[in-house]
Amino acid sequence: MPIKVPDRSPAEAALQQEGVEVIPDATALRQDIRPLRILLLNLMPTKIATEVQIARLLSHTPLQIELSLLTTATYQPRNTPFEHLKAFYRTLDEVKEERFDGLIVTGAPVETLPFEKVDYWSELKEILAWSRNNVFRRFGICWGGQALLYADHGIEKIQYPEKLFGVFEQRVQAPRSELMRGFPDSFPTPVSRWTGVDPAGIAATPELRVLADSPLTGIGLVEHVPTGDVFCFNHLEYDTETLRNEFVRDFSLNPATPLPHNYFPGDRAESDPANSWRAYGYLMFWNWITTLYRDTLYDLEALSPRPEHDLGAGI
């Protein structure tokens, strides 16, 4: 089925150029079905690229998806034109009376800061608190997953001595989880972070289940069983060139920047990388959307507040 993204947005044009079927407003309104309403809180500086990456993965399901874009009101991103934000993004005040099937929270380049030192932390906590009662299920990516874990369950992140950067094999630890349906015993995924989640904090929270991890990069994927919330600390949504672009950026600032692990053929930066993770990104989002469609309410107005016992010692 096609995906519904904001009309005339750069994401719409990019997806159409790739051959992804995008549904316009008029056609969506004629179809006698309720689309799944997904809200994307996009905290990445490369907002347009991230919109395309997430919309591409959401489009490969048999369901109609309506994607809405959310940004912070208290922090003005420096790398995205204000006109783009004004045309295609909304803030919490503009969506707070609405209900959504899913909320996706992206990563952000703030992971080395304590959560409370992030400029928009107070607003993010407000958004996450709102989502507990107005969104059926949440999906946090990289720092977004860490922030969601911290806000809801009080689990700290830990700082690594060097950046985990490259493509790393992840071991499936819960093969019977519906999110892992169809995955092999291990699968490659891009990793790009200076921090991870505290394994002791995860182990001390029985409602949290580790779905995938790596001996080199730690815990990579966690599920909160009572709510179905997902915390993914790696980047299956990345394009083939994303790690290259990050390497070029970092190398320009520090020529001692090491090559991303297991990414460039022969560890030669001039070689074109091959995308070994694309199928697993599609599969994970297929599984997430399929279970979300099965479990969510037909009438989102019937959403009720999450019981306090479903959440841990959040902040």
SS (H, E, C) 264-314: CHHHCCCCCCCCCCHHHHHHHHHHHHHHHHHHCCCCHHHCCCCCHHHCCCC
* List 51, 66, 142, 232, catalytic entry: 142
Please confirm, yes or no, whether 223 is among the known catalytic residues. Answer: no
Please confirm, yes or no, whether 142 is among the known catalytic residues. Answer: yes
| Residue 167 three-state SS | strand
Residues with Cβ within 8 Å of residue 249, at least 6 apart in sequence = none
Please confirm, yes or no, whether 232 is among the known catalytic residues. Answer: no
User: How many Å apart are CA 209 and CA 202, to the nearest integer?
Assistant: 8
Residues with Cβ within 8 Å of residue 114, at least 6 apart in sequence = none
DSSP lists the bridge partners of residue 4 as 66
User: How many Å apart are CA 41 and CA 154, to the nearest integer?
Assistant: 21
* List 12, 66, 223, 235, catalytic entry: 235
| Residue 209 three-state SS | strand
> Pairing mode, if any, of strands 186-197 and 157-172?
antiparallel
| Residue 24 three-state SS | coil
Active-site residue list: 142, 235, 237
